[in-house]
Amino acid sequence: MKKFVLDNGVRFIYKYREGEITSFSIGLEAGANSEDGYNLGVAHALEHMVFKGTKTKSEDEINKDCDRLFGFNNAMTNFPYVIYYGTITNDDFYEGLRLYGDIILNPSLKETGFKEEISVILEECREWKEDLDQLCEDEVFYNSFSKRRIKEIIIGTEESIKNITIDELKRFYNEFYISTNLVVSVVTSIPLEDVYDKIYEVFGKITKKVNKKLPLNITYEDNKKGTFEKEILGFKGSKIIFVYDISHLNIEEIEALKLFNMWFGEGVSSKLYDEIRSKNGLAYDVGSYIKNEKGIKEFIIYCSSSKENILKVSHLIKRVKRESLEFSKIISHENFNLLKKRLKLKRALDLEKSIVLANRLTIYEIMYSDCSILEDELLEKIFVDIDLVEKTINKILKEDTIQILK
């Protein structure tokens, strides 16, 4: 992997991978975290609107070119970032890069089609709420915080979406879609020199601009402790999640938490799965995951069960969590090394797809200002032992913040 910074501040990351396809990811720290002073959802609305046309191409021409050139392409807005990405043949790489460069650097942002796209986003907002797993997470974030952006969903509320204007999109674009905030990652077998030349042709000549707000300094807020419940009309089951703040953990502690999570909540041999599903038959879906994205940073335990069993599940999760705090007494060095092996394999499989690798390089560069952390993880350069795992989980798994849907 090689990283370059162009004269105008654009960061270019190159990763060689043998093959006939190229994947690239173009990203900016211009996600929902950046919306201070704007209507909620403006970052996501802008991601939609850049595809509505550029100064030289109509929306129809963009759509046809995307289908003609790409095997897969998409865009996504998260709290810390927005990314535009795709996979293309090596022969078409330059044309695809120019197309995406045009979309990102030269959007027309006209009133034409704006109301229709806002209607599309409002439909997306309504459908978002129909995903009960997502709703459970959204509800706990809403109840846990007073000021943090994750209190509301990424795409905004229906009210805030309706209040977004074209002029507001242009203001957000001019503030955050700038050279020093732009990261381009390319995973390909095309020689570095050729790719660098194409990157420079598309992105190297834009005017250098600096936003003193960047990188964003996120102020984290302690989770409100307690249990929150919400009744869902027509829902016959029940869902529960526990969340714990991890914003104060360093890189080594996050790595320790990832190893713990492999043992605690990932896979059919995990402690949660064994105790709640295999031994007690209380749930079909149970586990845990880590959201270490800038502006989120939470460890989450989840379970779906019946209404009559949800309190039993809650008590059992608390018991398993409590017993896990003595991690060093539970796990042998042999089994700990197996956890490391599993985590390494999982990462390797995850990054086997070139588009995933391209996205991850861009995201790591945006969130940590250092994409090399991704390679450090793969090569196991971040040292973690059993004692650090135990210290880390005792640091975070204290008081519970719980959300129940029923």
Residues 181-212 pLDDT 10s:
999 999 999 999 999 999 999 999 999 999 99
Residues 40-51 pLDDT 10s:
999 999 999 999
Interatomic CA distance for residues 303 and 313, integer angstroms: 8
Token duo for residue 299: 């460890």
Residue 59 within any structural domain of the chain: yes
At residue 73, the pLDDT reads 97
104 and 187 in a single domain? The answer is: yes
Interatomic CA distance for residues 353 and 355, integer angstroms: 6
272 and 128 in a single domain? The answer is: no
The model's pTM: 0.95
Of the residues 204, 236, 259, the one at which a domain ends: 204
Stretch 74-103: mean pLDDT: 98
Closest to 368 in 3D by CA, of 11, 7, 84, 22? 11
Average pLDDT, the chain: 96
122 and 240 in a single domain? The answer is: no
At residue 95, the pLDDT reads 98
Interatomic CA distance for residues 29 and 117, integer angstroms: 23
Find all residues with CB under 8 Å of 254, minimum gap 6, and list them. 246, 290, 292
Residue 256 within any structural domain of the chain: yes
At residue 364, the pLDDT reads 97
Of the residues 204, 238, 259, the one at which a domain ends: 204
Stretch 116-138: mean pLDDT: 94
At residue 20, the pLDDT reads 97
Of the residues 173, 204, 235, the one at which a domain ends: 204
Per the omega criterion (within 30 degrees of 0), is the bond before 215 cis? Answer: yes
Residue 29 within any structural domain of the chain: yes
At residue 198, the pLDDT reads 98
Closest to 244 in 3D by CA, of 403, 386, 404? 403
At residue 129, the pLDDT reads 84
380 and 321 in a single domain? The answer is: yes
Query: Has residue 317 got a pLDDT over 90?
Result: yes
What CATH number did the domain enclosing 196 receive? Answer: 3.30.830.10
317 and 200 in a single domain? The answer is: no
Residues 13-55 pLDDT 10s:
999 999 999 999 999 999 999 999 999 999 999 999 999 999 9
Residue 100 within any structural domain of the chain: yes
Token duo for residue 259: 């190893």
246 and 312 in a single domain? The answer is: yes
How many domains are contained in the chain? 2
Strand-strand pairing, 21-28 and 11-16: unpaired
166 and 274 in a single domain? The answer is: no
At residue 240, the pLDDT reads 97
Query: Has residue 398 got a pLDDT over 90?
Result: no
73 and 157 in a single domain? The answer is: yes
Residue 274 within any structural domain of the chain: yes
At 340, the pLDDT band (50, 70, 90 cuts) reads very high
Residue 338 within any structural domain of the chain: yes
Residue 26 within any structural domain of the chain: yes
Instruction: Compute the CA torsion angle 40, 154, 317, 274 (nearest 10 deg).
Output: 180
290 and 398 in a single domain? The answer is: yes
Residue 215 within any structural domain of the chain: no
231 and 294 in a single domain? The answer is: yes
377 and 308 in a single domain? The answer is: yes
At residue 361, the pLDDT reads 98
**Which residue range forms the structural domain that includes residue 235?**
226-405
At residue 389, the pLDDT reads 98
Residues 211-232 pLDDT 10s:
999 999 999 999 999 999 999 9
269 and 141 in a single domain? The answer is: no
Residues of the chain with pLDDT > 70, as a percent, come to 100
